[in-house]
Chain A
Amino acid sequence: DGGITQSPKYLFRKEGQNVTLSCEQNLNHDAMYWYRQDPGQGLRLIYYSQIVNDFQKGDIAEGYSVSREKKESFPLTVTSAQKNPTAFYLCASSTTLNQPQHFGDGTRLSIL
């Protein structure tokens, strides 16, 4: 149904490698977000972006990096500095920061 597309659905990487998760939206939303979800945990905010070329750290930004060069794209890089990267990652977007967020299907990252 369009909206927010996260790819791939499953991602495997070797320890020590950086990996980039894709998030694209066609909703013309200004704000975008990345969350991490671990078993038995709620969603925790990694980074968010209010507008193109702007982004802010969330609660657990260490070991992650983002860019926002285009309105529709907000890729997340999980670096080798992230101590426990195996998790489920959710991307979201909203019209503006204070509007309800729409979520993607998520990417499950496993570090081998």
Chain B
Amino acid sequence: AQRVTQPEKLLSVFKGAPVELKCNYSYSGSPELFWYVQYSRQRLQLLLRHISRESIKGFTADLNKGETSFHLKKPFAQEEDSAMYYCALRDSGAGSYQLTFGKGTKLSVIP
């Protein structure tokens, strides 16, 4: 069964410091990986997906199949980055298209 692990429940960093939110997955097929974000009093929304290979709000994430990881990174944290971040995996090969979410990491950027 597919599984997504976010080892940190809470991550606190100072403004301007680099950020890395960890995500590891276990899956034997062809996964699609996503990062979703929920800002305070806002809806859960898609931040980025690995197949896009884009940078959103300064965040990037690289799929490392060897390490089965999809860590989210930003070189300089901003206060507005404080939010709840969820890593998610979708089975793109079996046709079910179900998303499996990690438990989330709360990022707190200290001014």
User: Which residue numbers of A lie inside 8 Å of B, CB to CB?
Assistant: 40-45, 48, 58-59, 90, 97-98, 100-105
Contacts and interface: CB of A to CB of B under 8 A. Distances in A.
Contacts of B100: 42
A103 B103 CA distance: 17
Contacts of B43: 103-105
B4 interface: yes
The interface size bin for chain B is 20 to 34
Contacts of B86: 42-43
A33 B98 CA distance: 10
Contacts of B99: 43, 45, 101
Interface stretch (B44-52, B57-65, B70-78): B44-52
Contact of A100 (B49, B92, B102): B49
14 contacts: A40-B9, A42-B86, A42-B100, A42-B102, A44-B101, A48-B98, A97-B97, A98-B90, A98-B92, A100-B49, A101-B99, A102-B46, A103-B45, A104-B43
